[in-house]
Chains A and B, each alone.
Chain A
Amino acid sequence: MIATLMFYLLGAVALGATVMAIIQRNPVYSVIYLVKSIFSLALIFYLLGAPMIAALQIIVYAGAIMVLFLFVIMMLEVTPTNAATRTAPGWFHWGPVLLLALTLVALTLMLIGLDPVSSEGVPRWHASPRDFGYTLFKEYALAVKIISFQLSFAAVGAFHVGMTERRRARQEDAS
């Protein structure tokens, strides 16, 4: 009973954080709000019986990706101190987004209405990290390898794109 209550509470927090993240003019604040929303999601994951994922969510997602964001924001100094950036978009822009949200919700309701999932909802279930690791490296061993390749490609790509103008120019006339 408490779990359901916790779920709704955390859902609300997540939603609020995301909304705040979106409408912030300063990207740093929005990243912080995003981290808050990720934490609440991690807790929901935990509620839903996925402790491993919850932990990973916090470590990988909040820890790595958001930090990267902050790093880039700081590097590019896009903070709204320079007056050029326009004021936060007014009602004119968010109107259609609301309409979009409504349509999406209506769509999901309709889909749910079409073939209703069994009424009793998400059971109380708990997947221990052991089973998680076991299936991960048993059935999805190949997937793990591919993901690792993919991550290394991403690293190389990021490095190449990230090279500054000067070094690339020097490299071209060298080769």
Chain B
Amino acid sequence: MTAIMATDFPLLSLLLFTPLAGALMCLVIGAANGTNARWVALITAGIVFVLSLVLCLLQTPAAGWLLYEDYSWIENFGIRYTLGLDGLSSVLILLTAFLQVLAVLVSWRQNHAPAIFFALLLILETAAIGVLLALDLILFYLFWELMLIPMFFLIGVWGYKRRFYAAVKFFLFTLIGSLCLLLAVISLYLLHGEQTGVYTFALEALKQTELSGTQELIFFLCFMAAFVVKVPLFPFHSWLPDAHAEGPAAGSVDLAGLLLKTGVYGMIRFAFPLFPVAAQKTMPILAVLALVGLFYAAWVAFQQIDIKRIVAYSSISHMGFVILGLAAWNQTAWEGSVLLMVNHAVTTAGLFAVVAMIEQRTGTRALDQLGGMWKSHPNMSAFFLLFCMASLGLPGLANFAGEILILIGVFTVKPLWAIIAVVGILFSAVYTLRLVQGTLWGSSCEPHDKQDLVPREWLVLIPLAVLVVLLGCYPQPVLELLREPVSSLLMSGGLP
């Protein structure tokens, strides 16, 4: 694993801990008055964004890690502080940083303890970046758990009426999942120690442990327990709609943009390479669950009244699509999955931003009380229409690029799955159009705030809109970045 960039300056650690430093700064400065806590948060998010952009541009498509940091941390357990950045991580980190800037902008008006709010947002960002960089299983688990806490408080304190219920549900769901993960990590560590005498948590080393069929299956299921809850695959999804509906706008943007991605990232980086044989055995089950989730979430979204819940269920449906792509286990499908993940994050972040704006102006999120937003807020409605069209997979916009790659990848492996998934796209059109119908067209409801888009909101929506169109029309740069890492992960995963 040669590091292309032979700089000894710990660039990755800098990237990892800037948001944390920002969070502390927020607390210190914000204690005085909340307003400049916002500015600190914005500046930190900006710095992290620029940093990750630079790293992405430096990314040469050669295989291996662009940057690799490896320090010993707790010797006697063989836990090392190893960070690695390759194409896959750099794309997701860029996405995280970008959405973080937007999350700060979306919650600019936050006046309920803003300092702590922004500090928590930045800690969440550190945790997410940590998850995306860590190559040592314990370090990975540490950041995996760290993600839980800020999100719990974000939903629990700044949410809506049933926020506590939603926060606790979110916490318990992910905690149970990650405890299985911890169990598996430790037992794998011990097993590896017995076999080779070397007690280490490094991902590369642990790949070499020989496991019997059932052992590998059990380990794989434990690992997947944590990731499947986070992705929300079908049966484990009931925390997501509550977390979104009761969480603050920035919380939703982050939740959709960051947390769902770490689940899939965990699968690709850790679960599949570590236990390839077991993974391939469970692929059909995963695919079936994904398909069921795809339709189930669409049907439930069709019945929802609260527009935020509709968007939440739509993200469950799209993530089902991503998992289907992973289940196909070939290059096109995996690249399609990661691309769809990135596109979905951008589209859903846009949707949640606009939903928050709609709620600010009309004070309600119920579909039957909304209507005729185009008359009173043409610009906002135009953005909302764009994001909805992207969400239902209109070609030329974000989600379609990912979806078509997945369909092609899946069709070559299992035509039946692809055909069912294509029908799934129709279902997503049905409920998204119902959402658009209820909010934009029809007789106008009287929003108490006639103000269309404030410059700050323009600043949030324009980059998102441009990105949605760009990722739809020309996703090649992202795909170039993903090509090498995905093929190496597939290779180590053992092509069928």
Direct contact of A and B (CB under 8 A): no
Residue positions of B touching A, CB distance < 8 A? none
